Structure 1
Amino acid sequence: MRRSCIKVLKKGGEPIRRILLEMDLLDNSARIASKEEFLYLPLTRDPVEAELKVITGEFELTEQEFEEQKGQLKLEDLLDEVPHFEIIGDIALIEDDVPEPEKTAEAIMKVKKNVKTVLAAISPVEGEFRTRRFRTVAGENKTSTVHREYGSRYLIDLERAYFTPRLATERSRILGQIREGQTVVDMFAGVGPYSIMIARKSQDIRVIAIDKNPDAVEFLRHNVELNSVANVEAIEGDANVEAERFAGVADHVIMNLPHNANEFLDAAVKLCARNAVIHYYDITPEDDLFESSLKLIEKAADRAGRSVEVVDTRVVRSYAPHQFNVCIEVRVL
């Protein structure tokens, strides 16, 4: 069968494979092909321009003949249409409006042997603490699990604290920018996926992890112990307030609060030492991916008598039709 695909050097294939998986672009019905020093990663469809910007490294969009994956039960064998779903630990998440959710849940548990529970979201991400409500569709009646990512473990209750595995590659990318001896402030730390990964890199990195949700901070503190990292300061509080006592200490400020991060830009600038980098996340429309958000950052710096230079702008993932989760990185001078 002929498929659109990504052609990439073998040594750079795994990071791109992970990105394609997170964007639901990797076609698991076809076997990944290799020829000489190249891998060919089959795609479910042609990526749009914004999605191509997410794929890091050198690659080529092309077409290739692929062998069908045989001998492995696939969701396509059991369902007429495969819906989007996420797996966190041993829990699979589906939307409540999928057709025949019970049939979908049964199929997921047959194919994904590690899944013990299938939950359907019955609310959007809502409220000050960005949580969701779920109903159990199949399996054990629970909302808590232990999720593993890049060697770290996170205890999570999905109804008490927000978490998505779809940012795993993005978290790893940020990790690559952090150096020994630096201080990182994670303004909206949640259960700790950014903070703990960064802290595990070196004991000489100081991580200040802040969150307003007391449940999230409870899990954060548990996960600090679970991963044996002593260099994370877990703080329950409002990042706008906590910025006062940590003013000027940060070499990196992580602002992973899409939709609302703009309300904390003054605090983020206050946290910054000279030449610190702010990693600002937002949800933006495809016709204004970066410009409006960048203006907000520049205005916040100007109010503090400082300036910024753009380090990078990138699309992290598709969020909704014509909307994207983006990251803007600026150096605060």
Structure 2
Amino acid sequence: MDGEQWCLAVPKREAEARRRRLLEEGLLDRRYKPRPEGETILFPVTEEVPGATRCEFEAVPERAELPRHELVGGIAIMQENDPGGAERLLASRPSLETVLFPAGPVEGEYRTRRFAVLAGVPSTRTRVTEYGFSFDVDLALAYFSARLSTERQRVLETMAEGERVLDMFAGVGPFAITLSRRAGLVVAADLNPAAVHLLVHNIALNRATNVIPVLADAVHLARLGFRPFDRIVMNLPLAAPQFLATAAALCRDGGTIHLYALEEREGEFLPLIRAVTGGKVAERRVRTYSPGKWHAVYDIVVEKEER
């Protein structure tokens, strides 16, 4: 039913980013429809947060409960092997083309996984659109996480114009191409030939003329003769910490490393980071990965000289 609810007024140009952030924080009240008001969008929130006021909202019509899933472009990835639920899910969203179920874990040096098709078009390829960028993805050939879209924007917003950026585990290019919007140069490296093939395609798709794709094992990047980078992204959650020394060698004094890792306790990788980089560190949890395990990011300022 319609009713009065706490809400936040957000400028339209910031509405999508704020909506995603509210969803991640569990604050968006999905029982009600956001509505425009002048140059703002009013978002219903579940509690009285700073800046919230009371507003009238129209309730979202009740609908059949759908199976748990994650959306990646036109593909839904379900958490249960439920063909009947997959058919309901496919029918519920006109934009959906395929429903998949993971047939195994993320594994191997290329971070790929096998999928079973539960409904729809038998394909693992789709196009993902986020914040004005488009990425062609093949989930069976290269790792991709749609859940990091707001994280990519967060890193972009911290950048200065003209930075030299290295994406050590670029995959199909979501971080590299997003950061190219402000960077002077982005070197995007990956070990997986299929990922680099899609990366080259996505660079052209987004007209990102300042991104250089590199097919290489991250451990060998220091041998390629690059000048030190201002910023390095390490999005390899299962193994990134073991490449930290390589990243530190490639980063300039005072530069920033964004290290993404899976951890079971807060600050798990702080001793390693302080031993290798000697700089300031800020840690934040990006999302829950599995029971008792979190996907965290460490923002590291590298210090190579006495100050």
Verify same fold: TM over 0.5: yes
Point out where structure 1 has 5 or more consecutive residues left out of the alignment: 47-57, 71-75, 302-306
Is residue 291 of structure 2 the alignment partner of residue 300 of structure 1?
Answer: no
Please name the residue that 1:41 is paired with: 44
Corresponding residue to 1:237 among 216, 231, 234? 216
Comparing 136-145 and 238-247, the one that deviates more: 238-247
Is residue 8 of structure 2 the alignment partner of residue 18 of structure 1?
Answer: no
Corresponding residue to 1:127 among 73, 88, 108? 108
Please name the residue that 2:122 is paired with: 141
Q: What amino acid does structure 2 have at the position aligned with 1:292?
A: E
Please name the residue that 1:216 is paired with: 195
Per the alignment, in what secondary structure is the counterpart of residue 256 of structure 2?
strand
Please name the residue that 1:8 is paired with: 8
Contact 2:8–2:45 (8 Å) recurs in 1: no
Deviation at 1:233, TM superposition (A): 1.1
Deviation at 1:34, TM superposition (A): 8.6
Contact 2:10–2:18 (8 Å) recurs in 1: no
Please name the residue that 2:77 is paired with: 93
CA distance in 2, matches of 1:233, 1:177: 21
Is residue 67 of structure 2 the alignment partner of residue 106 of structure 1?
Answer: no
1 or 2 for the larger relative contact order (CA 8 Å, sep ≥6)? Answer: 1
Deviation at 1:248, TM superposition (A): 4.9
Q: CA RMSD in A?
A: 2.9
**Cα distance 1:299–1:86, how it changes in 2: closer, same or farther (>3 A)?**
same
Deviation at 1:153, TM superposition (A): 1.3
Q: Deviations over 1:185-226 (max 9, x none)?
A: 001000000001111x14x61001111111101110111111
- TM-score normalised according to structure 1 size: 0.80
Comparing 31-40 and 122-131, the one that deviates more: 31-40
Contact 1:316–1:327 (8 Å) recurs in 2: yes
Contact 2:2–2:59 (8 Å) recurs in 1: no
Q: Percent identity?
A: 36
Q: What amino acid does structure 2 have at the position aligned with 1:174?
A: V
Q: What amino acid does structure 1 have at the position aligned with 2:64?
A: L
Q: How many residues align?
A: 299
CA distance in 1, matches of 2:193, 2:25: 31
**Cα distance 1:319–1:96, how it changes in 2: closer, same or farther (>3 A)?**
same
Deviation at 1:152, TM superposition (A): 1.2
Is residue 208 of structure 2 the alignment partner of residue 205 of structure 1?
Answer: no
Please name the residue that 1:162 is paired with: 143
Deviation at 1:35, TM superposition (A): 9.6
Is residue 302 of structure 2 the alignment partner of residue 332 of structure 1?
Answer: yes
Q: Deviations over 1:246-297 (max 9, x none)?
A: 4552100101111211110110100111110010111122xx32x2212111
CA distance in 2, matches of 1:104, 1:22: 24
Counterparts of 1:245-260 in structure 2 under 5 Å? 245-246=224-225, 248-260=227-239
**Cα distance 1:157–1:24, how it changes in 2: closer, same or farther (>3 A)?**
farther
Per the alignment, in what secondary structure is the counterpart of residue 146 of structure 1?
strand
Please name the residue that 2:280 is paired with: 309
Per the alignment, in what secondary structure is the counterpart of residue 77 of structure 1?
coil
Per the alignment, in what secondary structure is the counterpart of residue 128 of structure 2?
strand
CA distance in 1, matches of 2:21, 2:31: 17
Please name the residue that 1:68 is paired with: 59
Deviation at 1:77, TM superposition (A): 2.5
Q: Deviations over 1:13-39 (max 9, x none)?
A: 543321233567644332237999894
Is residue 14 of structure 2 the alignment partner of residue 28 of structure 1?
Answer: no
Q: What amino acid does structure 1 have at the position aligned with 2:77?
A: L
Please name the residue that 1:73 is paired with: none
Structure 1 runs, 4 residues or longer, greater than 6 Å off: 33-38, 60-65
CA distance in 2, matches of 1:246, 1:175: 26
CA distance in 1, matches of 2:215, 2:298: 26
Per the alignment, in what secondary structure is the counterpart of residue 160 of structure 1?
coil
CA distance in 2, matches of 1:172, 1:243: 27
Contact 1:249–1:272 (8 Å) recurs in 2: yes
Deviation at 1:105, TM superposition (A): 1.5
Per the alignment, in what secondary structure is the counterpart of residue 315 of structure 1?
strand
- TM-score normalised according to structure 2 size: 0.86
**Cα distance 1:33–1:233, how it changes in 2: closer, same or farther (>3 A)?**
closer
